Structure 1
Amino acid sequence: MTASGRLSAAVPDLLRKRSFRRYWTGQSISLVGDQLSQIALPLVAVLALHADAAQMGWLATAQLMPALLLSLPAGAWADGRAHRRRVMIATDLARALLVASVPIAYVLDALTFTQLYAVALGIGALTVLFDVCNTILFVSLISAERYIEGNSLVNGSRAMSFVAGPSAGGLLVQLFTAPLALLADAVTYLASACCLARITPVEPSAVPPSKGHFTAGLRWILRSRVMRATFAGSATVQFFNFTFHTLFVLYATTELGLSAGVLGSVLGVGAIGGLVGAALTGRLVRRVGIGPAVIVGFAAFPVPLLLVPLADGPDPLVLSLLFLAEFGSCVGAMIVDISLGSLQTALIPHSLRARVNGAYRTLTHGMRPLGALAGGALGTTIGLRPTLWIATAGAVMCLVWVLPSPVPHIRELPNTPPEPAHGAPSASASASSPSSG
């Protein structure tokens, strides 16, 4: 085989399809930018504005609250639109402008917590709209039998962003200060918009609003045993994980004494676990089945984070524990994201896709601001380390919901249920699928 033939064979089939390749490229770039801002925005608050635990909690809440308030109406709105890709492009451009406003205000010596909260709130709202449209665009570019492969590629990019983003973010913060590092994030949103502008998928038809249109997705979730169980497990993880992440940067920089560059490097190297998880998930699904893979992911994601509040002592020991926590958690995150995402994608009818996604985000992502508020309040009241113990132990309780459910018994991806008439939940949507148990 020639060198070019070996290279071609090494390229996944989906990436040979131009539309999916452009979509995947835009997603990959944007995901790196998300990781840049995830470390840079809290560091802006800590290093430039000298935030305390309560202010860190409010900042995280501002970015996460739109998921609770807007996901349901955004999903209903997106299902009624015919051109979701255009909406995604508009949200990318708007997020680029919002992120760029922070370094501009910093250079002008006009940056305040009020602006930081407003930017976080705006980014959160636009991200909700982008994500509910993205679920529809994804199935417009890929056939059902390729869901695991497609999710593996997208989540593999996400794993790579975990490696590159924190390291690059920490380095940029050290070189140019935290606010100026956010300019890189603005550029990634522009790149994502350009990639989306270069594809022309055939999107599912808009669903005309009808009686029950707004709550159809929520009702469909409540009728499915699989969706109910995975919602409860995801909600538990989301609440406690964001209690944890609200205080993690503050804990690492103040109590553990790590610099931005060292913290970013440790997280970046540890995030290689995400690449391992993305590479292993397909094999795991083939060996044990899609449902058991979901259970493995739910367990492997929160358990390693128990090492973070345990970190203490000499710097090499602290850094080793943080690395192991990040590595193990990233392996678990990729397994659960790919396997659960593929299972849910296969279960949801096309005509309900954005509404179900919006309702699911309301129920699960809505836990994030509540977790962030709890983190800020507990961190102020009982201290950072005790709060991290509560957060990491609490996240493991997600298994209480999914273990007794039908999920462990599902071996294959089910066929997508019949399309409900006029967007109403179909009785067969749960009865004819493994979600009925």
Structure 2
Amino acid sequence: MSPPDRLKLPLIFAALHGADQLALAALPLIATLSLGAGPGLTGALVAAQGMAWLLVALPAGVLADRMDRRRLLAAGGLLAALGFGLALPLAGQPVLLGLAGFLGASGVVAAALASFALLPSLVERPALPAANARLELGRALATLAAAPIAGILATRGLPQAGLGLAALAGLVAALLAWRLPAPTALPRATQPGLGAAVAEGARFVLAQPLLRAIALAAIAWNAGFFALMAVAVPLALGPLGLDAATAGLALGAYGAGLVLGALAAPRISTMLPLGQVLLSGPGLSVLGMAALLLAPGFVTLALCMGLLGFGPMLWQVAQTSLRQAVTPMALLGRVGAVMQVAVFGVRPLGALIGGGIATGFGLPAALWLAMLGFGLSLLAVALSPLAPLRALPSLDQMRGLDQNRRRSAS
């Protein structure tokens, strides 16, 4: 891929994630400032947008394996622009506003899955970690910028303007997608129904030892992280005695860690064996939680959040590259969707359990629950075939592993 083309997909991904994050920041502001709503309606609007990651990912993954991924990427951007654009005139009608937010997020989901499935056809296998790092850097920067932009617009009496920017970002993503080089055409074969196609992707994840370990580690880590997120603000404002501004500064270290991790990932991937990079995500998370549990305060909260951004970003780049390397081209969309649903499905569960344990047993108990999730994630990597990996497996190695797996199954 030429240097200009190498930058297009990260720009597209940043625009898509920026659209999602702008809408996610704008919806609560609209609910609070324009509709005078309480936490119930605000939570419902956010949940409506988030449900797209659960309900749309599997069919979108099937589409990513059946159609031109560049076209799906462009169509997803257009759908995001349409959904968030429709939300503007519907801002005074909560139900329709939630549906429009869901529609816009559905476009983001489809386009994001298309991006990850498209990338291996645009770059050589050894270049996957650097290419994925560029994608994740765009995501991290969009995450950092979206909430402040939406907040500034709201302070000027324009909370709905965040939705307008989200629609514009989706449109930019769609236009850039059409300018990507055409990917290699997928082989046409007999296509099973939706359920059978999704099941094929799930079976591949369960049968492939590396993917299975990645899924287990991701599920455990996300359960722990969202248990922590459920109590982070009450912890900061309560026992730690921080004011809102100082608490925001400490929790904002997470975004800074994401950006630093994305910037460092290409270099670190060439310096350390792949297995050690994969261990760094849960390992640094355990270290950060240990610091917070042993000496709770502003510094350790900021350190913990920074490590929770930095280490898992290294993990994200490494595991995405590995997933793309070991998955057949025709299954990339469905495998990505299965992973996505598993991770997003456990997030609300982790938050609910974390909040419930904090209510029943106190905030420290919820912190120990988060530590348990991070520790299980570390064990899932350390005790799996991920830990000994030194580099991305070659195509010949993957063929050998697949033949061994088939012989064992028979």
SS of 2:244 mapped into structure 1: coil
Q: C-alpha separation between the residues in 1 aligned to 2:302 and 2:107?
A: 32
Q: How does 1:306-325 map to 2 (within 5 A)?
A: 318=298, 323-325=302-304
The yes-or-no answer on 1:62 pairing with 2:43 is no
Counterpart position of 1:422: none
- Counterpart of 1:84 (choices 39, 47, 69) is 69
Counterpart position of 2:9: 23
Asked if 2 retains the 8 angstrom alpha-carbon contact of 1:57 and 1:373, the reply is no
Counterpart position of 2:276: 292
Q: Displacement of 1:142 after TM fit?
A: 1.0
Counterpart position of 1:431: 404
For 2:124, the aligned partner's letter is S
Judging changes above 3 Å, is the alpha-carbon distance between structure 1 residues 227 and 174 closer, same or farther for their aligned structure 2 residues? same
Q: C-alpha separation between the residues in 2 aligned to 1:198 and 1:20?
A: 12
Counterpart position of 1:140: 121
The TM-score normalised by the length of structure 1 is: 0.76
Counterpart position of 1:227: 211
Q: Displacement of 1:69 after TM fit?
A: 3.6
Q: C-alpha separation between the residues in 2 aligned to 1:378 and 1:297?
A: 26
Q: Displacement of 1:68 after TM fit?
A: 3.3
Structure 2 gap segments, 5+ residues each: none
Q: How does 1:25-40 map to 2 (within 5 A)?
A: 25-40=11-26
Q: C-alpha separation between the residues in 2 aligned to 1:412 and 1:391?
A: 33
The yes-or-no answer on 1:411 pairing with 2:390 is yes
- Counterpart of 1:199 (choices 173, 176, 180) is 180
Judging changes above 3 Å, is the alpha-carbon distance between structure 1 residues 267 and 40 closer, same or farther for their aligned structure 2 residues? farther
Judging changes above 3 Å, is the alpha-carbon distance between structure 1 residues 248 and 218 closer, same or farther for their aligned structure 2 residues? same
- Counterpart of 2:78 (choices 93, 99, 102) is 93
Judging changes above 3 Å, is the alpha-carbon distance between structure 1 residues 100 and 309 closer, same or farther for their aligned structure 2 residues? farther
Asked if 2 retains the 8 angstrom alpha-carbon contact of 1:65 and 1:368, the reply is no
Q: Displacement of 1:362 after TM fit?
A: 2.6
Higher relative contact order (CA 8 A, sep 6+): 1
The yes-or-no answer on 1:359 pairing with 2:338 is yes
Judging changes above 3 Å, is the alpha-carbon distance between structure 1 residues 85 and 326 closer, same or farther for their aligned structure 2 residues? same
For 1:51, the aligned partner's letter is G
Moved more, 395-404 or 406-415: 395-404
Q: Displacement of 1:73 after TM fit?
A: 3.1
Q: Deviations over 1:88-145 (max 9, x none)?
A: 2222122223223444334xxx242x34432343344333322222222212211112
Counterpart position of 1:155: 136
Counterpart position of 2:367: 389
Q: C-alpha separation between the residues in 2 aligned to 1:137 and 1:357?
A: 11
Asked if 2 retains the 8 angstrom alpha-carbon contact of 1:63 and 1:124, the reply is yes
Q: C-alpha separation between the residues in 2 aligned to 1:182 and 1:388?
A: 35
Asked if 1 retains the 8 angstrom alpha-carbon contact of 2:129 and 2:318, the reply is yes
For 1:392, the aligned partner's letter is A
Judging changes above 3 Å, is the alpha-carbon distance between structure 1 residues 73 and 187 closer, same or farther for their aligned structure 2 residues? closer
Counterpart position of 1:218: 202
Q: C-alpha separation between the residues in 1 aligned to 2:351 and 2:101?
A: 13
Aligned identity (percent) is 23
Q: Deviations over 1:214-265 (max 9, x none)?
A: 4221111111111111101111223343455467679879996637xx8777
Q: C-alpha separation between the residues in 2 aligned to 1:216 and 1:290?
A: 27
Counterpart position of 1:175: 156
Judging changes above 3 Å, is the alpha-carbon distance between structure 1 residues 140 and 338 closer, same or farther for their aligned structure 2 residues? same
Q: C-alpha separation between the residues in 1 aligned to 2:235 and 2:199?
A: 40
Q: Displacement of 1:288 after TM fit?
A: 2.8
Q: How many residues align?
A: 400
Q: C-alpha separation between the residues in 1 aligned to 2:295 and 2:48?
A: 29
SS of 1:202 mapped into structure 2: coil
Q: How does 1:253-402 map to 2 (within 5 A)?
A: 258=244, 271-301=255-285, 304=288, 318=298, 323-371=302-350, 374=353, 378=356, 389=367, 392-396=370-374, 397-402=376-381
Counterpart position of 1:104: 89
Q: C-alpha separation between the residues in 1 aligned to 2:290 and 2:158?
A: 31
Structure 1 gap segments, 5+ residues each: 1-13, 420-425
SS of 1:105 mapped into structure 2: coil
Query: How large is the RMSD of aligned CA atoms in angstroms?
Result: 3.8
- Counterpart of 1:128 (choices 96, 103, 109) is 109
Q: Displacement of 1:150 after TM fit?
A: 0.6
Q: C-alpha separation between the residues in 2 aligned to 1:404 and 1:223?
A: 17
Q: C-alpha separation between the residues in 2 aligned to 1:45 and 1:354?
A: 35
Q: Displacement of 1:198 after TM fit?
A: 1.8
Q: C-alpha separation between the residues in 2 aligned to 1:407 and 1:22?
A: 31
Q: Deviations over 1:38-87 (max 9, x none)?
A: 433344445554433x6565444433334334433332232122x22222
Judging changes above 3 Å, is the alpha-carbon distance between structure 1 residues 386 and 174 closer, same or farther for their aligned structure 2 residues? farther
SS of 1:283 mapped into structure 2: helix
Q: Displacement of 1:27 after TM fit?
A: 2.0
SS of 1:104 mapped into structure 2: coil
Q: Deviations over 1:253-306 (max 9, x none)?
A: 9996637xx877766565232232123223333333011101111232475468
